[in-house]
Amino acid sequence: MSTAAGADLLFHPVHELAALVRSGELTARELVGESLDRIAELNPSINAFVDVFGEDALAEAGAIGPDDPRPFAGVPIAIKNNRPVEGRRLTFGSDLAGDFIAPYDHHVVARLKAAGFVIVGTTTLPEWGILPTTETRRFGPTRNPWDQSRTPGGSSGGSAAAVAAGMVPIAHANDGGGSTRIPAACCGLVGLKPQRGRISLAPEVGHSFLVSDGVLTRTVRETAEVLDLLSGPTLGDMTWAPPPAEPFAEAAGRRPKRLRIAMSTLSPVPGAPVDPASRQAVQDAAALLESLGHEVVEADPPWAQEELSRVFTASFGPAVCTQIRLAEMIAGREATAEDMEPLSWALFGLCKSINSIDSQLAEFQLHGVGRQLVTWVAQYDALLTPTLAEAPLPLGTLNPLDEDDPMGAFTRSASFTPFTPPCNISGQPAISLPLYEREDGLPLAVQLIGQPAEEGALLALAAQLEAAHPWAERRPTL
């Protein structure tokens, strides 16, 4: 079992941990060992990990010395179990995937390894990454370290729970409708969705309309530093974001000029309520921004459109269900209802009924929605909104196993997380910041939406807020 000092160690920023290893004050094996001890202690209750690579991770760490030039040599990290890690199970949280062993590393995994991170395991997600909660038939519910009766969010729920609980100091995530920002908000972490095309999706995919990879961290600086590592195209990418004028970590360390920032609590899902605490968080963040010298104006984006949820589903659904089709190819047979949860099976059936013309039309419609949002935001330097419309949901609220109403959880999820999908549609960067706490002690986040390809400016603003109202020392009681 990890010592109190060892457990505290894993709440330190990754650059500090790397510096301890580099100086010889701490060995990589000791650091990774503390992470594995913490996982062994807490994972039985939190259930954040699919697989833990204990002996292999220790062996890898044992080969790292203080003279290792890699920037994060010896720092433990976890990978969401929807990205291939060579030689490890890739399950997508589904029975259909079986125990398929990935034959290669995803681009993001390869870059993290090249930077010296030691992968200690893979983390849970909802089946196929569909829901903004993490409760699967195959692996069971993942619990929020702040309140184990509640969800850590999704779809990167296991990664967020692992970081919030101090099992690892950082974890991989990705975001196709909020799947980095939602668990960040639920678990009191920083979650950035980068600009579309900022991080390569190689080797499988050359471009994605909705999905961006990233990490979950405790501080803005860590997010910026790792974004520098992961950014940039690889050969074969179809599209990519323009390179930044300077490293993101440098931009994040620069005090922003006086900005004009819009604020809105208007839900993009017409008629969906936004709870008073989420509204108050935006008001408080606006006041904080004004105290820092910025101008804040109330203005609602043109995103409360009745048809938006249906059109988003017509694009998001087929993108998700492509994973099911690939799993069928690997299994060498067609999937059956017994292979997956009722929600996944219902969504798969729905997507098979969408013809190629309607799917393409939906994406064209979303292009227009995205262009409209980018154009509207362009009159400001950033947009401030809630990240979530509600507190982290009690486990079981979104039930993917409901056979009577299999799509009910998917429909209900829209009112929980209405503020995150628009930026996947527009492609622009957005970040969730855990600025506040609810009355019951649960994290309470706000979202900042930035200009296209301007993650540096967004990170600088986020860092200014963090310095004015720090959150990194808050920890759940476990």
| Contact indicator for 254, 460 with CB cutoff of 8 Å | yes
Q: Is 214 helix (H, G, I), strand (E, B) or coil?
A: strand
DSSP result, 167-204:
S-S-EEEEESSSTTHHHHHHHT-EEEEPPTTSB--TTT
**What span, in angstroms and rounded, lies between the C-alpha atoms of 450 and 314?**
26
The tokens of 175 are what?
């975001």
DSSP structural state of residue 213: E
Q: Judge whether 226 and 457 are in contact, CB under 8 Å.
A: no
Grouping H, G, I as helix, E, B as strand and the rest as coil, residue 83 is: coil
- Residue of 116, 48, 106, 117 lying closest to 76 (CA atoms): 117
d(CA 264, CA 299): 6
Distances in Å between the Cα of 190 and the Cα atoms of 91, 214, 267, 443 are: 26, 11, 22, 11
DSSP H or E segment with residue 82: none
* Nearest residue to 331 via CA among 104, 97, 129: 97
Decide if 460 contacts 435 (C-beta within 8 A): no
Q: Cβ contacts of residue 219 below 8 Å, gap of 6+?
A: 13, 190, 466, 472
Contact 310, 411 (CB under 8 A): no
Catalytic sites, residue numbers: 80, 155, 179
Tell me if 154 sits within 8 A of 170, measured CB to CB: no
Structure tokens at 398: 């979104």
DSSP 385-442: EES-SSSPPBTTSS-TT-SSSTTHHHHHHHHHSTTSHHHHHH---EEEEEEEE-TTS-
